[in-house]
């Protein structure tokens, strides 16, 4: 078994043992352990939340005083009792209005693990994924709190640099992370954006 396959298998088994819906939970666990973005009492919006790996972790961190909203075009099952979920499409014209109706206040953290349906044509997949991320960025002015944070999945490719450069204008600090739970051969990265300049 190759190292990348062994790592994937390790996190899948760990997720099953610890009760997480998917191994992706360990991506946000690692990111949050390093950057401490999600805390007790936080309001967190999790986009692309199905099957619920990230959302389960978020619910554990925000506790009863916080609020966790997971949004996807697909449902999630077996989530913590304090999880709130909505079936919505981030590309919809009414998406922002719907989110504002569901959140108790502006979000302290916006998470995006959005990915398009993969075609195998990398250039096409990259551009589609970057477009999804741009839809998330459009939400920041009205949905992300001042000094808030965001974690955004991105696919490596020619459009990434311009996207990162534009995000750096809106946040005090932007770093690129590749958690251990990501497949080594994968071209996905996460932009960890802190201290939103609203």
What is the pLDDT averaged over residues 50-69? 96
Q: Quick check: helix, strand or coil at residue 151? A: strand
Alpha-helical segments (H) within 49-188: 53-62, 95-102, 122-137, 140-143, 160-168
The closest alpha carbon to 129, from 48, 185, 49, belongs to 48
| Structural domains of the chain in order of their starting residue, each with its CATH number | 3-196 (3.40.50.150)
* pLDDT tens, position by position, 9-53: 676 776 666 656 567 889 999 999 999 999 999 999 999 999 999
pLDDT at 174: 98
- The β-bridge partners of 174 are 193
Q: Average the pLDDT over each of 21-25, 66-70, 110-114, 180-184 and give the range with the smallest value.
A: 21-25
DSSP state of 197: -
Which of 34, 134, 138, 153 is flagged as catalytic?
153
Position 3 scores a pLDDT of: 47
Based on the residue annotation, tell me whether 153 is a catalytic residue of this protein.
yes
Q: pTM (2 decimals)?
A: 0.92
pLDDT of residue 186: 79
C-alpha of 80 from chain center: 18
Determine the pLDDT at residue 20: 66
Q: What is the pLDDT of residue 118?
A: 93
- What is the pLDDT at residue 102? 98
**pLDDT per position as a tens digit, 121-175:** 999 999 999 999 999 999 999 999 999 999 999 999 999 999 999 999 999 999 9
Of the pLDDT bands very low, low, confident and very high (cuts 50, 70, 90), residue 4 is: low
Predicted confidence at residue 183, as pLDDT, reads: 75
CA 126 – CA 43 distance, rounded (Å): 30
């Amino acid at each position: 078994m190759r190292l990348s396959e062994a790592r994937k298998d390790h996190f899948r088994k760990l997720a099953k043992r610890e009760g997480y819906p998917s191994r992706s939970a360990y991506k946000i666990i690692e990111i949050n352990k390093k950057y401490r973005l999600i805390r007790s009492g936080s309001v967190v919006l999790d986009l692309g939340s199905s099957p619920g790996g990230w959302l389960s972790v978020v619910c554990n961190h925000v506790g009863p005083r916080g609020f966790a909203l997971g949004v996807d075009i697909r449902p999630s099952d077996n989530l913590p009792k304090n999880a709130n979920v909505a079936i919505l499409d981030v590309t919809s014209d009414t998406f922002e209005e719907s989110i504002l109706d569901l959140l108790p206040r502006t979000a302290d953290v916006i998470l995006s693990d959005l990915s398009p349906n993969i075609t195998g044509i990398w250039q096409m997949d990259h551009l589609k994924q970057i477009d999804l991320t741009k839809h998330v960025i459009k939400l920041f002015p009205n949905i992300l709190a001042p000094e808030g944070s965001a974690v955004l999945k991105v696919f490596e490719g020619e459009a990434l640099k311009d996207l990162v450069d534009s995000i750096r204008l809106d946040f005090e600090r932007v770093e690129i992370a590749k958690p251990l739970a990501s497949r080594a051969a994968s071209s996905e990265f996460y932009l960890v954006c802190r201290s939103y300049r609203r």
